[in-house]
Amino acid sequence: MNAKRTRIIAFGVFIILTLGVVLSRFYLNVQNEHWDDKRKAVETAYEKSIMTKATKVDFFYGDEPLQIVYGEDKLGQGVIVWVSDKGIHAEMTAESFSEAQVRETVLKKAPEIEIERVLPGKLGNDYVWEVFYKKNENSGIRYFYDYYKFKDGLYMDTYRLSLH
């Protein structure tokens, strides 16, 4: 009886370890493409802009997919670079509306909302701040996208999603 129990436990441990290895390999394979896209975006930002240090990469999916690379130039000044298959666009953060200013603008307009994220992006031909937020309404929770010009924070448009 003891030998049988030991074999069952050993087999169970073997199955759990095998599952762990298989799942971790699957995760790494899925993530490798994502990490490669980030690495390529940073390399492009280094090659084609004044950015010398990258600190973060976000993805924006609008009319065209973009990688947003945040970083600094050689003087330590903030730079944001939009990287796409069509090219790049760079802006100095000191010469633009900041994420904090965009958040403040949205919350002044509607203090009851809950901001989910603020992200640089592109709407048509304009470089923008995209603000994704939710708002409780009588009929339920509704999600919105607001767009503000990246340079000066001027309001552009709101996209209203269906009720959740």
What is the per-residue pLDDT across 20-47, written as a single tens digit (0 to 9) for each?
888 888 777 776 676 788 889 899 999 9
Are 2-93 and 99-163 equal in CATH topology?
Answer: yes
Q: Kindly tell me if the per-residue pLDDT of 160 is higher than 70.
A: yes
- The pLDDT, as a whole number, for residue 57 is 96
DSSP letter at 93 equals G
- The pLDDT, as a whole number, for residue 98 is 95
Mean pLDDT of 91-104: 95
Q: Kindly tell me if the per-residue pLDDT of 101 is higher than 80.
A: yes
What is the per-residue pLDDT across 82-93, written as a single tens digit (0 to 9) for each?
999 999 999 999
User: C-alpha distances in angstroms, 145 versus 23, 28, 141, 150?
Assistant: 35, 32, 14, 15
Lowest mean pLDDT among 17-26, 30-39, 133-142, 150-159: 30-39
Which one, of 94, 65, 67, lies nearest residue 79 by Cα? 94
- For residue 158, name the pLDDT band (cuts at 50, 70, 90): very high
**For the chain, domain boundaries:** 2-93, 99-163
Q: How far apart, in whole angstroms, are the C-alpha atoms of residue 83 and residue 60?
A: 10
DSSP letter at 136 equals E
- The pLDDT, as a whole number, for residue 139 is 83
Question: Which CATH number among 3.10.450.40, 3.40.718.10, 3.90.180.10, 3.40.50.740 corresponds to the domain 2-93?
Answer: 3.10.450.40
Fold of 99-163: Nuclear Transport Factor 2; Chain: A, (3.10.450)
- For residue 152, name the pLDDT band (cuts at 50, 70, 90): very high
- For residue 1, name the pLDDT band (cuts at 50, 70, 90): low
Mean pLDDT of 52-79: 94
